Structures are given as structure tokens and as C-alpha cells.
Amino acid sequence: MSPPCLLAIDSGTQSVRALLFDLQGRLLDKAQVPVTSYRSPQPGWMENEPEAFWQSLCAATRELLQRTSVPRGAIAGVVLTTQRATPVSLDAQCRPLRPSMIWLDQRRAAHAVRLPWWWELALRSVGMRETVRHFQHEAEANWIAQHQSEVWARTAHYLLLPGWLHWRLSGQMVDSSASQVGYVPFDYKRGRWAAAWDWKWHALPIARSMLPELVAPGTVIGRVSPQAALDSGLPAGLAMIAGAADKACEVLGAGCLTPEIGCLSYGTAATFNTTTRRYLEATRFVPPYPAAVPGHYNTEVQITRGFWMVNWFKEQFGQDETREAARLGVLPESLFDALIEQVPPGALGLTLQPYWNPGIKHPGPEAKGAIIGFGDVHTRAHLYRAILEGLAYALREAKERIERRGGARITRLRVSGGGSQSDAALQITANVFNLPAERPELFETSGLGAAIIASVGLGLHPDYASAVRAMVRTARVFQPQPEHVQTYEQLYRQVYLRMYDRLQPLYRALRAITGYPSSDH
């Protein structure tokens, strides 16, 4: 009889991956299907049909199970992890009513309704009213209710993407509490829907009856239905386990279980996370997200346009590498490390602030990206190095903010996500942070984190610490280079940390003059 294995489905922004892991964390087989069905009807909009997400999932699972040598009977369970903040509106018959806005969508609700007077007074008294206004403008449900009122009137169920996929797989309107990252009435501190008196019910048009039942990560939600088995190729009756959002799974899959380990994710969005039992707001009034481990939190700080900037660089300045990569049959990004080797640490003074997207608090909604220090010596190679250094500076600032708020030192770094495959990026990270930067053995940390959840939920490992010890390994550690650490320390302290405060008034003026980013919130 074959030893048990776990099927993790990672429905990410760029692709859906079906991944088979054994109980030692080894990747046994994998199928990957790109997501090419996004639409952008207007500039700044980004959406996808809910059915397209389901079809991509089915294509990935069918491809995997048709070709793998792993017996279907060895698969102990299936678990989902997905991109965050992607809502699905369903009618009373559970049929999608409109495309889902994904997290990159930039549309904003036109107005923020006034809350009951007592909430207005309370929120103003603690300096939180502007944060709530931002929440109201960002909430997709408010945009739908204001701009497509007939659609909202027919909305009987309002789920995030994993809830929709759980429904398609099992017929259960159930989701994981660790997947509720988005503009929904969720109580991040208690890991459940907000209490009836909470301001979120006044700030959103969502009723409690529209939301799914929430369960803890690792809970067996249900079984793969006969219809889902026909569509996806999965065995009917296979146990389906509640997972967690992709970043939460990535943190777990990188082995970051305790507060002294910082987890950097170099993905489309770049993030800095720690895992803690304590509810800790790295930025005041911005809650930590639920961790993949029940009863824990991830103190996340996000740079929305993280390694997206590498793709931006490739499209704008990397035509030579793109052509050469096509000739060699490799990814263009694999050739960019050679560019970095042409440039000394500090990029001869070229310094980048990676706020290509505005923020909420720090940076604020007026923020823009900036590059300073140009001279006639600078080339695109300097710009590429400045991008990686700027991202590392921003994430170091996040680390220091978490340390100040939490009082505990972060002494180790784990780096995951697509950008972690760049040796140059990890060496820069080690030097900017002056800490060892560890690369996990497996690139698929988000899927591995989901598999760890399933292994504990099914009792195949006794607890999360045991599962991480068995399933997570480090491939390489990049040590700080003392000769470069001092250069980065000076640039970080004397230049980078001062940039935002100095440029903020100019950003506000730019927004007032041009209207971009939108100032309606």
C-alpha cells in the first residue's frame, strides 16, 4: 500500500498549480495552468469570471491526475490556498452574477456612507475615521451596490474565492477563517464574523446571511462531490480540508512559526511577515491577518507592487534579455542577475522608493514611486539593482516597524516567492538587513504550507511544529557581506528613510494637480 500524500491546489494570480506532497514535504508531482482569462474593461480594472477560476482549477487537477504515477488511493485529502481579496457574488441558486474583481483592481466606491452617529464619534475620537473611509471606498461590495445596484439586489451569497471553490468542490457553503483577507465584515482579532454591533456592518451592504460558515484551518469541510469529481478528475468522496490564504500558507511553508523569524515574500506583491500568538498591529488600526496556524496572526506589511516591478522592468527595459532568453529556452528573469553583477552595491547612488501603488497609512493614499540620484553613469543595470535594493529597504523598514510595535527582535530571515530564486536578490537582502537570508528547499512554499495544514488536520502529523520539522528544509543560506553591509546601512539610514517624509508634500501636490492616485478616499 502506498504511503499517504496530500493534494494542495494553489490558485494564484498568475496560475493555478496542483501539487502532490508526501509527509516529508517532498513534491511528488505538479501541474500548472496559467490564468489567461483576466479582463480589463477600463484602465485600472482587473476582473475574472468565477467560472474561469473553477475551470482553471479543474484543468490543473485533471492534468496532474492523468499523468502522475501516484495512486489516487494514496491521496489522503485535498486542500486549497488562493489569492486574497477576490470576492464572488452569487444569486439564490448559487450562480455567479458578475465577474470577480481581483486584488489588483483599482476601482473605488464613489462615496462612503455615514455611520451611525455614535460610531462616527467613537472612530473620530481615536483617529480611525479616515482608515474606515478608506475601507469603505476600497470595498468591492460598496462599488457593486453603488454602480450595479440591480446586481447587488440579486446577491444572495457573497464569498471570497476559496469559499466559491469549496462550494464547487463539495457543495458546502464553508470557508476557512484564515482565508478572510478582504473587505468583508470579519473580526481579525477573534477569527470570526464581526459581532452584530460592529461598525463594519454599517460600512458595508453585506448581511450575515450572505456569508459562509467559517471553520478553523485544518477542519475537514466536506467531501468532493460526484459532479465535482466528473469536472475535476478528483476522486469522489475525497476529504476536503480548510486551508488558508496564499500568503499565510507561504509563511507556514517557509517554516516561519515563531516571532523571531521574519518571512519575506518576493512575489507579485512583496510582504514581510512574522507569526505570533499575540494580536499585533504593525501599522496602527491595520489588523494583522489570520495565520495558517489556528490562534495565531501574521503581522504583515505589504509592498503591493513588489516583484511585479521586475516584470515592469522586463517589459520596459529588458528586451535584450527577453530575446536572448527565448533563444536559450530560459526565463528572461534568469538573465537579470548578470546585470546586477555589473553594478556595485548602492547602484552608484541611485535609490528607489517602491511605492508604485498608494497605501493606507505608511505609505499613505497620496504615495507614488520615486527614483533619485540619477547621473550620467547610470544604465538600466543600475536601475535594476536599485529596484531590488529599494524593495529590500522597504521590507527592512517593515521589519523595524514590527519590532518597535511588538518589542521582540527578528534574528532570522526566510525568503520565498518567485523572486527568491534570484541569488542576487537574496544576497542583497542579506546585506541590507545584515542578517542571514535563508532560501527554503522548495519553491512552492504556498502549496507546501497548505499541505502542512492538511497533514495536521487529518492527523498525519500531530501538530504544526512537528509538521514543519518534518516537511520544511532550507536549501541555502546567504550570509551578509561585511564590506557591503556598511554601504547599505548608510544609504538606508541617511537616504532611504528620509525619502518619504521629504517627498510626501510633493506627492500630495501631484495628486491635487493630476487627480492620480484618486483622492476620493
Q: How confident is the model at residue 83 (pLDDT cuts 50, 70, 90)?
A: very high
C-alpha span between 49 and 102 (Å, rounded): 10
C-alpha span between 165 and 81 (Å, rounded): 10
C-alpha span between 177 and 184 (Å, rounded): 12
pLDDT tens for 270-318 read 999 999 999 999 888 889 999 999 999 999 999 988 888 988 999 999 9
Secondary structure (DSSP) of 217-262: TT-EEEE--HHHHHHH-PPTT-EEE----HHHHHHHHTT--STTEE
C-alpha span between 127 and 116 (Å, rounded): 17
Percent of the chain with pLDDT over 90: 83
Measured in degrees and rounded to the nearest 5, phi and psi for residue 382 equal -65, -40
- 8 with 81: CB under 8 angstroms? yes
Residue type, 297: Y
- 380 with 314: CB under 8 angstroms? no
Q: Give the pLDDT confidence score for residue 337 in this predicted structure.
A: 87
Nearest to 519, CA basis, from 238, 205, 130: 130
Rounded to the nearest 10 degrees, how much is the dihedral formed by the CA atoms of 129, 132, 134, 140?
-160
C-alpha span between 467 and 62 (Å, rounded): 28
**DSSP category for residue 479:** P
- 136 with 113: CB under 8 angstroms? yes
Secondary structure (DSSP) of 358-394: --SSSS-TT---EEE---TT--HHHHHHHHHHHHHHH
Look at the chain and count its residues.
521
Q: Give the pLDDT confidence score for residue 517 in this predicted structure.
A: 67
User: Average of pLDDT values for 128-145?
Assistant: 94
- Residue 194 grid coordinates: 464581526
Neighbours of 65 (CB within 10 A): 20
Residue 20 β-bridge partners: 7, 29
User: Average of pLDDT values for 227-244?
Assistant: 98
Q: Give the pLDDT confidence score for residue 521 in this predicted structure.
A: 37
- Residue 275 grid coordinates: 507569526
**DSSP category for residue 208:** G
- 32 with 60: CB under 8 angstroms? yes
Q: Is the pLDDT of residue 407 over 90?
A: no
C-alpha span between 485 and 434 (Å, rounded): 6
CB-based contacts of 83: which residues, under 8 Å, 6+ apart? 11, 12, 13, 102, 103, 161, 246
Residue type, 274: T
C-alpha span between 178 and 335 (Å, rounded): 37
Cα separation of the two ends of the chain = 59
Q: What is the mean pLDDT of the chain?
A: 94
User: Average of pLDDT values for 378-401?
Assistant: 96
Q: Give the pLDDT confidence score for residue 518 in this predicted structure.
A: 62
- Model-level pTM? 0.93
Q: Is the pLDDT of residue 166 over 60?
A: yes
Positive or negative: CA dihedral 396, 10, 337, 412: positive
* Cα dist from 462 to 178, 251, 445, 457, 469, whole Å: 20, 20, 20, 9, 11
User: Average of pLDDT values for 129-137?
Assistant: 92
C-alpha span between 201 and 194 (Å, rounded): 8
Q: Is the pLDDT of residue 440 over 50?
A: yes
Q: How confident is the model at residue 520 (pLDDT cuts 50, 70, 90)?
A: very low
